[in-house]
A and B are shown apart, each in its own frame.
Chain A
Amino acid sequence: MSTYRRITVGDEGGVSLVRFVDKKIVDSGSIEQLGEELNALVTVEKRNMILLNFDGVDFMSSAALNKLITLNNKVKAAAGRLKICGLRAEIKEVFTITRLDRVFDLRKSEADAIEAFKL
């Protein structure tokens, strides 16, 4: 298991449960590190069932959003599934404006998302 600084990673019924350390994902150095850590989940640890739980995240810039898109593309290339839960309303609105709500599987709660992995 790798050591991460921007995320924590747990396991829930075969799903990698990822939470974010920072309440505001805005610092460019931290975002680069976050991107590397998210990518390592797929390329190093070979995880391909991933749930990103944004509970506690108040703000993220579009640079951070770009890292999620890169992760999603990697998970898809690895024939895996990525889901997102716990978005505060304002961040969810950003997904809607940019139509990324069509790209990502957004779920209200962690339990809802875990259940959806079983389908």
Chain B
Amino acid sequence: MTSVQDHWSYDKLIPSDLDIGHAAIEELMNALGSAAWEGSDLFRIHMAIEEAVVNAIEHGNKRDANKSVHIVFHVGTDKVTMSIKDQGAGFDHQNVADPTEDERVDQPRGRGVMLMRELMSEVHYNELGNHVTLVKFKSPPAEPE
């Protein structure tokens, strides 16, 4: 349901298909544009939601056609909330190896969770680790130079 503060909401159960996941992301990005989100905020949200949706489809549901992903977006003027829940076994989100450590920094994987945490205002997982909620508050306007 769309609240007074929301410009746009999205609530769908999608199959474990990256093309359909990307179509949902595109709808979100269009809605953010309509709600006057811009610049680095848009980029950060795009980066984080890309990680969350791809993780849910690839690592959570392992692209199993019999499993779905529940996606909920709420876009407001100053706050966006994105909830992604897969039907996988979850993971230990509190003990993810730090990808910036010397022995891992040149490994081509393992940056998604860290990026979401760095780019979003808030990141919450359920205990199992198969449901992530991302929150981003709009950044204040840049000071004129």
Contacts and interface: CB of A to CB of B under 8 A. Distances in A.
Interface of A: 26-28, 59, 61-63, 65-67, 69-70, 72-73, 89-90, 93-94, 97-100, 102-103
A69 B118 contact: no
B95 interface: no
B22 A62 contact: no
Nearest to A63: B54
Contacts, number: 54
Size category of the binding interface on chain B: 20 to 34
A28 B16 CA distance: 14
Contacts of A72: 106
Q: Interface on chain A toward B: helix, strand, loop, or mixed SS?
A: helix
B111 A62 contact: yes
Given A67-B108, A72-B106, A89 B40 contact: yes
A33 B22 CA distance: 18
A103 B101 CA distance: 12
B122 to A, nearest CB: 17
A58 B141 CA distance: 21
Nearest to A70: B108
Interface in B48-82: 50-51, 54
Contacts of B106: 69, 72-73, 103
A44 to B, nearest CB: 20
